Amino acid sequence: MLYQHCSVRARSAPDLVKCPVHTFLALISSLLRTTMLAFSYPRWRTAFGATNLAANNDPGLKLGKASLITPNIFLSDYYTARDEKELIKLGITHVVSVLEHDPVIPKCIPEKNKLRIQIMDRPDVDILPHLERTTEFLRLALEEPMNKVLVHCFQGVSRSATVVCAYLTSTGMSAKEAVKFVKSKRGIRQLEIYAKRYANVSQSRRENTFSRNIKKLKISDGVAERIRWLKGKGAEPVEVQEVNK
């Protein structure tokens, strides 16, 4: 199973055979660590089984491929984001990388069209402080209808999916609707952990904003009422005179 999984990541079995031993070992180590972090299983065999199960059961998740979420937004793993031919084929103009290490993005993507968010793939890591920045980056990029954005993390199933969901909520979707929509396009087994937290914070922010707006309205209403009362008394606006020093 391990060889099969690594072969998928290396695009083909021959590619894996040709790679240096240290590269092969590094790939195995990275896959073990990332998969166990992403799926929170106590043993690597169980974690890999869950990974394969997600890939087999969800038609939207294909290892090494990008999933089309909206006509202008793609969600993928890191290996797809590194593939220049794939980026050109998809027409990608912007890339959002959500990784703990520096990504190697092909030169076909200009530096100004790249955004990197440094964050580890663990449920206890707070991604929320970064979502406003990623959402704004997506919004500005998509102001041009011809632009296409690829959002990726290592596997394309948690951190990057959360970024896409956050953007979708800015377009009018609720957090639950966004999660359901993205799940229909790509397997995102662990997104509920992030989404629940995001939904709670999002709701809290909306309530705080609503509360502030109500206070502003009350103040405005009070001023307006005072002006109406003064006018009713026949008072006229007084011109402010400059005081000579």
Q: What CATH superfamily classification does 67-197 receive?
A: Protein tyrosine phosphatase superfamily (3.90.190.10)
According to the 3-state scheme, what is the secondary structure of the chain?
Answer: CHHHHHHHHCCCHHHHHHCCHHHHHHHHHHHHHHHHHHHCCCCHHHHHHHHHHHHHHCCCCCCCCCEEEECCEEEECHHHHCCHHHHHHHCCCEEEEEECCCCCCCCCCCHHHEEEEECCCCCCCCCHHHHHHHHHHHHHHCCCCCCCEEEECCCCCCHHHHHHHHHHHCCCCCHHHHHHHHHHHCCCCCHHHHHHHHHHHHHHHHHHHHHHHHHHHHHHHHHHHHHHHHHHCCCCCCCCCCCCC
pLDDT digits (tens, 9 = 90+) for 91-103: 999 999 999 988 9
Cα 49 to its chain centre, rounded Å, is 26
pLDDT of residue 186: 85
pLDDT digits (tens, 9 = 90+) for 134-178: 999 999 999 999 999 999 998 888 889 889 999 999 998 888 888
Domain positions in the chain are 2-57, 67-197
Higher pLDDT, 183 or 220: 183
Active site residues: 153
pLDDT digits (tens, 9 = 90+) for 56-85: 444 344 445 899 999 999 999 999 999 999
